[in-house]
Amino acid sequence: MKEIVFYILAAAILVGGLLAVTSRRIFRAAVYLLFSLIGIAGLYFYLNYEFIGAVQIVVYVGGIIVLMLFSIFLTQGSGEDMKKPLLGRVIFSALAAIFGCGLVMSFINGHEFTYSAKPALDPSAENIGFQMLNTAQYGYILPFEVVSMLLLASMIACIVIAIKIKVPAHAILPDNPRYHDDIDLPKELVLEENEVVA
């Protein structure tokens, strides 16, 4: 029964991540990413790491995804299809993913996992917090601080996505349609500028 639960969670994570990077609608991509992150949280709960699973839901699902959704709703083209990626970028992304997967698998296969006679550490919030903020040899204070920058990067990305570029009226030439192809303007702005010029 446990193996079935694991394979269901793994399938949800992989399918959600694959749909998130292949969907051409930005809102749907965020929703697919949401399901993938929820699957990762379920995997933590499956491993009896309730605290890490709760942090996964609060930080990633409740924080980053919500910020992304707000940014999507603030943009003009949230319901429109994104541009089809170039074939070269698709091939490069696929090769990068395959290379990364192979690199991780080589590290896992090259590492010798040994059993320890010591009892396993209780995955309580106290022990996890002490280990994360520990500056000793096996402490994780540096990775913890580096990962905490992810929220800052997410906020900056949300601001960049939601920003609206203001284009002056003299920069728009309705008689020359190539300017509208080069500059991705909201439909309302183009309509207002056309009315002013007319």
Least confident range of 6-20, 24-38, 59-73, 155-169? 155-169
Q: Is the pLDDT of residue 135 over 60?
A: yes
Tell me the CB-side half-sphere exposure of residue 29, using CA atoms within 13 A: 15
pLDDT in tens, 45-73: 998 888 888 888 888 887 777 777 777 77
The most confident of 23-32, 40-49, 83-92, by mean pLDDT = 40-49
Closest CA to 87 of 99, 78, 95, 79: 95
pTM here?
Answer: 0.62
The pLDDT of residue 24 is 80
Quick one: CA dihedral 159, 161, 167, 171, positive or negative?
A: positive
Contact 34, 61 (CB under 8 A): yes
Measured at the alpha carbon of residue 185, what is the angle toward residues 183 and 191, in degrees to the nearest 5? 125
C-alpha 15/C-alpha 4 separation (Å) is: 16
Helix (H) or strand (E) holding 85: none
The pLDDT of residue 42 is 92
pLDDT in tens, 81-128: 667 778 888 899 889 989 998 999 998 888 887 777 777 777 777 887
Q: Where exactly are the structural domains of the chain?
A: 165-198
